[in-house]
Every structure is written in C-alpha cells, then in structure tokens.
Amino acid sequence: MLDAASSPAELTDPTAILTQAILLDQEGEAATARALMRSVAALRPDWDEPWLRIGQSLRRDGAPDEAIRAYDMALARNPARVEALLARGTLALGNQDPSGAVDLLCRATTIDPNCHEAWHALGYAYFARQLPEAALHALANAGRLAPDCFRYACDLTELAEQIGPSVAVTVPDWSDGVGLALAGRAARRRGDLDEAVDTLEAASALLPDEPWVLKELADVYLSALRPEAAEPVLREALRREPGNLTLLNDLGVCLGRQYRFGEAEAVLNRMRDTEQMSAVMLFNRAMMRASAGDLAGSCADIEIAKGRSTDVVAALIAECTLLPYRGGMTAATLRDAMTLLGNALPRPDRPAVHSRAVTQADRDRTLRVGLLSNTLRQHPVGWLTFAGFQALDPADFALHCFGKYDENDRFAQDFARHVAAWHSIASRDDAAIAALIADQQIDILIDLSGFCDGGRVAVLAQRAAPVQMKWVGSQASTTGVAEIDWMITDRWETPPGFETFYTENLLRLADGYVCYMPPAAAPEVSALPALANAHITFGCFNNLAKLTDDTLRLWAAVLDRVPNARLTLRCPQFSEVNVRDRFPGRAQALGIDPSRLTLEGRAPHREFMAAYRGVDIALDPYPYSGGLTTCEAMFMGVPVITLAGDFFAARHSVSHLSNVGLFDCIATTPETYIDRAVSLAADLPALAHLRADLRRRMLASPLCDAPRFGRSLGTALRRVWHDHCDHHRVAHEPERA
C-alpha cells in the first residue's frame, strides 16, 4: 500500500507516482500534481490515464483550452475512454461546438449505453443542434438510467415545456423521492410555498445524497424572501457537491440578500474561471463586488457578461443598476440607458388592465391605490412613505399592497392596519402579477422598488393599472418605462427644465417628495462632540457602494483643510473583515490618511442612530447622495454637506436639506462643497447651536409633517386621476348644465 506521506522523489513506479499526484491535486497543489502526471505520461507514453487526470485538473483549475488538449491526448491513446469522451464533449458544448459535442457524446453512449451522464450531456448537445426530439429522448434515457437524479427530472421537464407538446416523450419511472421533489417544485411555481417546503423536505429525506433537491428547497426560501433559511440548505448542498458553480452562485445571491456582500463576493470569487461562468453568474458577482466596494471588478464582470448574455433585459438591468454609482454620471446618460432598458422589457399583445371608460361619477369616488413592493417594512421605503400613506383620507383612497407581508416587522404590522388588503405575489411571474392587479381594479399603481430589492418594474410594462407611477425605492433616475405615467418628485429633486431627463411626467408635490417618519424611541441629541474631543469628527453612514473615488477625493480635500479632523464611516459591509481591511489602502491611495479613519459595521437601528452622537458634521457621498441617512443625520442634530448633481439620486439630500431650510449646506461645485464643510467646522459655537435646534426645526418642517404631506399627496393623486378621467370619459355621456 502506498504511504500518503511518501515523497514523490522516493517513488519510481508510474502507478504510485500518479496516485501521489492525484492526492496532491485534491489537496490544492495543482501545479506540482500536473508536473508529476506529465512525468508519468513520459514514463508510460501509451497510457491514457495520466492525460485524463491532467485534463481533469486543468478543467477544475479553469483552463478549458489546455484541458481539451489533454483529453485529446488521452483519446489518442484510448479512443474508447468514456470519461475523456464525456469531458471532451461537454467542453465542446461550452465552446459553442454542438456538432462536435454530439459526435463525441454519441461515441460515449455507444461504448457505454449505461452512462447516464453522457446521455444527459447529449440531450443538451442535441438541443443546441436544434434537434428537439433527439434531445428529449436523450434526457429521458438519462432519467431511466438514474431515476433518483432530481436534476435530470428538472432538466427533462424544463426542456419539454420549452419545446412544447409537438414532441412527445415517455417520462421515466422516477423514484418516490424525485416524484416528491417534482411535486414540491410544482407547488413553488404556483405560489404554495408552505406545501413546497414540506414536500421538498420529505424528498430530501428520501434522497440524502441529491444536492439538487436542497437547491430547490433553497429556491423556495429565496422566493419567500427568507435568505437566512436558504443559507444552511445551500451550504449543505455544496458540502455534497463541492465546487458546483450553480450552487456557489445561489449561495452568493443568498448572502447578498442578507446584506453580507463581502461574504457573497468571496463565495462568488471561488468561481475563478469566467469562461465557465454564465452571464447570470457574472452579473450577480458584479452586483456583490460593487456592494463590497469593488466598482472596477464589478464593471469588468458586467462587460464580460454582456458579451455572452442572450438575456438583453438582464444585461441592461445589471448595467443600469450600477450606473448611478459611477463617477461622472449625468442625468442625460442615465435617461438614455434607462430608456434602452425600458424599451427592452417584454410587453403583452394586450395590456393587462381592462380598458374601461370612466364617467363623471368616477372622478371623485374612492380610488383603489396599489403599492407594488417587497420592501413595505422597516426599510428606507417604509421610513419615507408610510407616514404619507397613513395620512391619506381613507374615504378617498383604499390602499392595496402587492408584495411580501413581513409578519415579524413592526412597521409592516402597523401599516397593515391602514390598508384595505395585502396581496402576496410570491412565485408569480410578471404577467400573473399584472393580471392580479388588474383583477383588483386598481386605479393608480405605484411602484416602490424599481429594478432593485426584488423589484417588479416589468409588471408596469404590462399596463396593470390605468394610471401608473414611480416613487421611492431605487428612485435613482427615470425608469425609462413608457407605461409609467408619472414620477412623484418635488421642485428640488427635479427643478424646472429637468423634464427632458425623464420619460415620465413629473408630479411635483407642494413640499418635499417624501415624508420622514422618525423612530418612536430615537436616542436624544447629544452635545457637540467636538467640544469634548477638541477636534471635528466628520461622518458618513451611507452604503459602501456610494463611496466612489470622486467622493473619497472630496473628503481627502476636506480633511486636508481641517488638519486635526477625523472621519467616521459606518456601513454594514465594514462588519466583514475582508471588506474593512482593504478599505484603508484604497482610501490612502486617494489621499486619506488611514490613521484618521474609524470604520464601523452594522448595528441595530437605535444603536446605528446613536452613533451620530459621535459625529459633528456629515459628509454626503457623490454622485449618489444619501436619502434616509440624510434624514437620520439631521434628526440626530448633524448637518449634512451635499454636492448637488443633475439626476434624481444625486439630489436626494438637496430635497431633504431644502425642506428643512438648510440651504447653506448645499454645494453646486466640489470647491464649494469643501469650503462649506471647512466653514461649518471652523465655527463651533454656531455648529453647537445648530445641533441643539436641528431636531426641533426638522419636526416643525414639511419633511416630518405627515398630515400636511398626506393632503399634498392626496391632492396630487386626485389631480392625476382627474386628468385620466378627462381623457377617458364616456363619449356620449350627457354634459351637466
């Protein structure tokens, strides 16, 4: 027996050397392992085994072209080696050579008719060759040979649905476990998530070695917006099938939905070979890299993905979601990009809403207002909209929520008492959601998520309601969706002349475009910390993705002008060691001395708010400004210096500061931004007075006046509805005298 500790130099038998090389390869010593394998190939030039092992190592290491050459060397020595034919055929399929793949995989199935992996791959090769009947029969053969394989059952089902009823196939006699898993999958698709969980857990007990059942169970949890439940399931699936790219992708998405972007990035970075990564995987990694502060890596992933994606909409969503965070971004650039995305969304032959004429009586009846979002909870959407919605007159407006109801969220529980109904949209596609909204006869539909946070903007492209609007929730610029009639805004977010940057009509409210709901038990405002510290502390508690290079250069200039000042940054990503540890180096490269930085991570909301007690002046990021964070800073007595841009997300703080009357905190050039921060820091008595009075001032302003905001919002909604009625009145309705 070979001693695993034996030195390769002590081995002379080719078989023993190859065994040692395989062990080294499994332990991560790939280069050393392949060198030994090549030495075995030289010792035994007629043996196919070393070349097969070299190919497997290279393929696993992300070198498909070299792997192909190694497999070809193995086949030159043994043309009947099924493992080499299977691997070579799969790589040919990945290289867009379906004809070559069919030839190789047919040879494999001829040599070994019981090789279900070869039949499975052959099915996809036939489909790529546009031979649907042969594809279905090959996948069915794989299923008959491996009736416990849930993945094969899923692939056969999906391909049959894609091809349609024109091609019939005999369904394999699946095992009981696979049958249960298929039933759970069907339950998920029709939205019965509780049944899906129960059925898939039973299937997993019957198929303990089948990771794809666990993947399906994780998909159910993700559909139910329960990523914390999906995570252990995906980790178990990866334990059973380490290195599986699909499972790694799903785990990365799962971690990202828990705002653990650094962990998500690290998981997705385990997919080292971009050639083996699908466009979807690259788009997902791009999002996680951006959220973890790596905008350059994010942009690189998107460019690669765009070149290989066949899903134009997914590519445009990924690109447009990140555009507002890039330096030098303008409203015109965003409008053009978003219009491309909006135009690319699928439209039905007929709109979902039933076209109906309106009468005079419709003008002033109670309106059914739909709120489309999965973030109707303790979330920026909730903090900035619930007060306004709750202040609407229920005799005039009946609210219908379309999205996830979080029964454990205090905000959601309270808001539910103010709505007429809450409709689940879990597992429904866009057309089904649009049909649901139309069936509820919603008059005005308001999107509150955009293209992020599980948003369903494409539902509005189906024309789900007679009047459709965008408000809050990833409201960074125009949506570019022609069917969205209005954008709720104000005179500071979109001053006169900005209409050209929006495909929507601009519905400017009388004051600001949001109403901030302060937390009921907010910490008290502290004395100015600079008085005790003998130095100014600047701070920013915004998302790391907003901290662009332009932002850090601005802050470096401010710190240079206030030599003893410090800068405190807080965001959830800094709870992750890998993200926090690399940030000081980036900051230093852009002119900020790391010794002047304090980096803090996530915290419960009250503790997060209390952290402002250690900040004298907040510095807004650029170009994507703070929204809720600006409101929270002011509520804790901390003024915010902002640099106004020309697109929506570049002017959030402009609106909030203007609504409170802090016009002196708004800059229009980088130089003015720096000067105003320095000036505010130089007058501690004035800064202390502003801090002591800012909460009172804010509460007395329209920004926190819910009744006033409710009247403004209600008036605007009714005015828009009247405009709709005037354009859709019954043609022969008699006019009033």
Per-residue pLDDT tens over the stretch 451-485: 987 789 999 999 999 999 999 998 999 999 999 99
The confidence score (pLDDT) of residue 10 equals: 56
Give SS3 for 96.
Answer: coil
CA angle 505/658/389 to nearest 5° reads: 55
Concatenate the DSSP letters of all residues of 108-149 into one string.
Answer: HHHH-TT-HHHHHHHHHHHHHTT-HHHHHHHHHHHHHH-TT-
Q: How confident is the model at residue 409 (pLDDT cuts 50, 70, 90)?
A: confident
Give SS3 for 505.
Answer: strand
Give long-range contacts, CB 8 A cutoff, 24+ apart: 174-177.
174/143, 174/147, 175/147, 175/148, 175/206, 175/207, 176/206, 177/148, 177/150, 177/203, 177/206, 177/207, 177/210, 177/213
Q: Are 128 and 94 in contact (CB under 8 A)?
A: no
Mean pLDDT, residues 421-438 = 91
The confidence score (pLDDT) of residue 396 equals: 95
Residue range 30-83, pLDDT digits in tens = 899 999 999 999 999 999 999 999 999 998 887 888 999 999 999 999 999 999
Residue range 312-351, pLDDT digits in tens = 898 899 889 999 998 889 999 999 999 999 999 999 888 8
Residue range 582-627, pLDDT digits in tens = 999 999 999 999 999 999 999 999 999 999 999 999 999 999 999 9
Q: Which residue has the tokens 């009033």?
A: 736
Q: Are 184 and 216 in contact (CB under 8 A)?
A: yes
CA angle 511/517/518 to nearest 5° reads: 120
The confidence score (pLDDT) of residue 327 equals: 83
Give long-range contacts, CB 8 A cutoff, 24+ apart: 285-289.
285/252, 286/318, 286/322, 287/256, 287/318, 287/321, 287/322, 288/252, 288/255, 288/256, 288/261, 288/264, 289/265
The confidence score (pLDDT) of residue 733 equals: 46
3-state class percentages of the chain: helix first, strand second, coil last, to nearest 5: 60, 5, 35
The confidence score (pLDDT) of residue 501 equals: 97
Name the residue among 707, 665, 703 with its Cα closest to residue 686: 665
* pTM, rounded to two decimals: 0.81
Q: Is the pLDDT of residue 700 over 90?
A: yes
Mean pLDDT computed over every residue of the chain: 91
Q: Are 235 and 211 in contact (CB under 8 A)?
A: no
- Please report which helix (H) or strand (E) contains residue 31, including its range: helix 30-43
Structure tokens, 408: 């454990």
Q: Is the pLDDT of residue 2 over 50?
A: no
Report the Cα 28 to chain-centroid distance in Å. Answer: 32
| Rounded CA separation 258/266 (Å) | 14
Percent with pLDDT over 90 in the chain: 72
The confidence score (pLDDT) of residue 619 equals: 98
How far lies 463's CA from each of 262, 334, 357, 715, 727, in Å? Answer: 38, 23, 16, 23, 17
The confidence score (pLDDT) of residue 275 equals: 66
Most confident of 94-98, 211-215, 243-247, 525-529: 525-529
Q: Is the pLDDT of residue 223 over 90?
A: no
Name the residue among 446, 386, 410, 381 with its Cα closest to residue 627: 381
The confidence score (pLDDT) of residue 734 equals: 44
| Rounded CA separation 184/3 (Å) | 48
Q: Is the pLDDT of residue 193 over 50?
A: yes
- Please report which helix (H) or strand (E) contains residue 567, including its range: strand 566-570
Q: How confident is the model at residue 730 (pLDDT cuts 50, 70, 90)?
A: low
Residue range 289-299, pLDDT digits in tens = 888 888 888 88
Name the residue among 509, 476, 552 with its Cα closest to residue 320: 476
Mean pLDDT, residues 363-374 = 94
Name the residue among 428, 434, 426 with its Cα closest to residue 468: 434
| Rounded CA separation 112/84 (Å) | 13
Q: Is the pLDDT of residue 272 over 90?
A: no
Q: Which residue has the tokens 């965070």?
A: 325
